[in-house]
Amino acid sequence: QSALTQPASVSGSPGQSITISCTGTSSDVGGYNYVSWYQQHPDKAPKLMIYDVSNRPSGVSNRFSGSKSGNTASLTISGLQAEDEADYYCSSYTSSSTPYVFGTGTKVTVL
């Protein structure tokens, strides 16, 4: 099972919006609405930001939103803030023998 494909880095200025893509196949992202997004600051554990493609856990800012089209899921961060600078990973349920797969990770830089 190959990792889902994410851009290595995305950057934006404070207040701007950025979008991170997560591309898989019909066996994972495209086949199920079980896509999550995690934020990870350096030397910290991942934090759930989005689940089931577009749902936010309680306590997560509404500046974070998720969507999916075909085999590609996306995370949009609007009103970019300095504290959003972190690594972001998508994850998906898969139909393979390994039931979960993560994305390659995207480093978000706030300019």
Residues of this chain that interact with another protein (CB under 8 A) are 1, 3, 34-36, 38, 44-48, 51-52, 55, 57, 89, 91-93, 97-105
Q: How near is the Cβ of 79 to another protein at its closest, in Å?
A: 24
Strand-strand pairing, 18-23 and 47-50: unpaired
Burial class (CB in 10 A: 0-12, 13-18, 19+), 103: buried
Q: How near is the Cβ of 48 to another protein at its closest, in Å?
A: 3
For residues 54 and 47, give the distance between their C-alpha atoms in angstroms, rounded to a whole number.
Answer: 15
Rank residues 28 and 84 by Cβ distance to another protein and give the closer one. 28
Rank residues 17 and 21 by Cβ distance to another protein and give the closer one. 21
Q: Is the dihedral of CA 76, 68, 46, 63 positive or negative?
A: positive
For residues 56 and 87, give the distance between their C-alpha atoms in angstroms, rounded to a whole number.
Answer: 18
Q: How near is the Cβ of 76 to another protein at its closest, in Å?
A: 19
Rank residues 19 and 60 by Cβ distance to another protein and give the closer one. 60
